[in-house]
Amino acid sequence: MMIPLHPIMMLLAMLGLTTANKIESPCNAGISIPWNDGYQCICPPNKQGKNCSEDVPDAGNCTWPGNENACSSAPCHGEDAVCINTFGGNYKCLCPSGTNGDRCGEGTYCFPCASKRWRNVTCPVFNDKPFLTSMSVQDVTLKTQISRTKCTMADNWSFDYRTGFMWLAKGCRGEFCVHYQAAVPDITTGPSTTAGPGVERIRLFTEGILDITVLPSGKVGVTRKDGQSSRIYDDDFNSYIDLNESFSRVSNLGKVLFFLNSTSSAVLYDTDRKTLVTQFIGVQEFAVLDAKYLQGELVRQMEFMALIDAATGGLYQFSLKNDGNRTLVHTFTSPNYLATMGNLTIVSDRSDNLVIAFEMSMIEAGGHETFRYGGSTDKLLDVCIDSSYGVFIADYSNNRIVRLNFIGELQGFIPVQGKPVAVTVKSPGVLLVGDDEGYIYTIPYQRDAS
């Protein structure tokens, strides 16, 4: 529970601080508060910095004003944070060990959890620390393995981000850590647009979004549910072209959009004009592998495509230069979405709730599986890959985008207000996410170093 302390003089009395203590403290003209084996400074209005040694510009000879109860709004996060009313209606948060930030909004909570005698167990993390229910859990990691049995995520331990229960099995015992930060509230800026810091949310339709892709020009191709016609939007989503045709998937081929409908007809749009209609019998999803594009020379510059055969569930490498030969890479139960970047191909399977990555060779036939993610009850849908080979997965069940590196190591989660269905890279460091209610999100993220 956050602890509010009200008048400054009460604080001084509680801590046994005298005028002499204040003058001799490391806080110069401020007040020194013992905290976490160190100290925190409460600075007067005309001073700032860790030790109150820096002048506040244009502050002059400000005096110590009266103390309003700024802590009444409970601004400090976490159960052990201390809120102190300072001056002029302001406050200062004293953060417990393991947390940081102006409002103690970032931190790590570690706890033990053990599977004894090979039995399944659950540890109720949110029940033990209720304040975590108001936080955004970014990641859960294994800090220390205690058991001889190796603790492997998704094999014998996992964490339910909705309920806060840690699940362990097969003799795994260890200390685990929840890494959290304060949840960012949405700020409504219009009847259909919501934005948080750096995040934009716009409603495009009343129907859910199926797939999205972005051209280098910024144009955005969008397909939607319930047989509704697909559209091509400008980069700011203020205007669009309605194609008056329903498609299930959309990909980009350099400067044009490639739509695929339920009858497996592929339609090429050069921004707003239909330029090519071809037939890919039984193809559900596709992407170009390691393609090179030149103005006016789109098709003949491509060497390979990765495609999903809806009839067999197979992922194929399809040659565009060798009489259309295709090589089976893997057979899925119910393949759904596909993404490629260079030699890396990612496919999601809706029946197994699984995402599998392959290293596709451009010289030798077939491909090599590099990692798997999922396999639980969480519904995993669209996938995309950025230019740094970061992998992003639309986790429909948990209202988030899962972020992995190119070898499948978990890098964190990006929360989404709605249920994400489609995800693509809009520009370096920016994702586009479409949800099942017709909203599209523009979400900045920190890119990995190339």
pLDDT digits (tens, 9 = 90+) for 374-426: 878 889 999 999 888 889 999 999 999 999 988 898 888 888 989 999 999 99
pLDDT in tens, 208-238: 999 999 988 888 999 998 778 888 898 888 8
More confident residue, 446 or 99: 99
Specify which of 108-122, 300-314, 365-379 reaches the highest per-range mean pLDDT: 108-122
Q: Is pLDDT at 432 greater than 60 in this prediction?
A: yes
pLDDT band at 106 (very low <50, low <70, confident <90, very high): confident
Cα of first residue to Cα of last residue in the chain, in angstroms, is: 43
Q: Is pLDDT at 201 greater than 60 in this prediction?
A: yes
pTM of the model as a whole:
0.54
Residue 278 is predicted with a pLDDT of: 52
More confident residue, 196 or 343: 343
Q: What is the mean pLDDT of residues 241-249?
A: 84
Tally of CB atoms within 10 A around 398: 18
Give CATH superfamily name and number for 187-444: TolB, C-terminal domain (2.120.10.30)
Q: Is pLDDT at 359 greater than 90 in this prediction?
A: no
Residue 45 is predicted with a pLDDT of: 73
Q: Is pLDDT at 362 greater than 50 in this prediction?
A: no
Residue 102 is predicted with a pLDDT of: 81
pLDDT in tens, 162-191: 678 888 888 999 999 998 887 654 333 322
Pull the structure tokens for residue 72: 């009444």
pLDDT in tens, 287-306: 544 333 323 333 333 456 77
Residue 367 is predicted with a pLDDT of: 57
- Give the C-alpha separation, 305 to 287, whole Å: 6
Specify which of 92-96, 309-313, 347-351 reaches the highest per-range mean pLDDT: 347-351
pLDDT more than 90, % of the chain: 18
Q: What is the mean pLDDT of residues 420-445?
A: 91
CA distances from 333 to 222, 285, 286, 348 (A): 26, 15, 17, 10
Residue 65 is predicted with a pLDDT of: 53
- Give the C-alpha separation, 327 to 178, whole Å: 43
| Domain coordinates in residue numbering, the chain | 3-100, 106-182, 187-444
Residue 290 is predicted with a pLDDT of: 38
- Across the chain, mean pLDDT equals 75
Tokens 């249920």 sit at which residue? 419
Residue 183 is predicted with a pLDDT of: 65
Residue 144 is predicted with a pLDDT of: 94
Residue 237 is predicted with a pLDDT of: 87
Q: Is pLDDT at 10 greater than 80 in this prediction?
A: no
Least confident range of 194-198, 223-227, 236-240, 322-326? 194-198
Residue 185 is predicted with a pLDDT of: 44
Residue 103 is predicted with a pLDDT of: 84
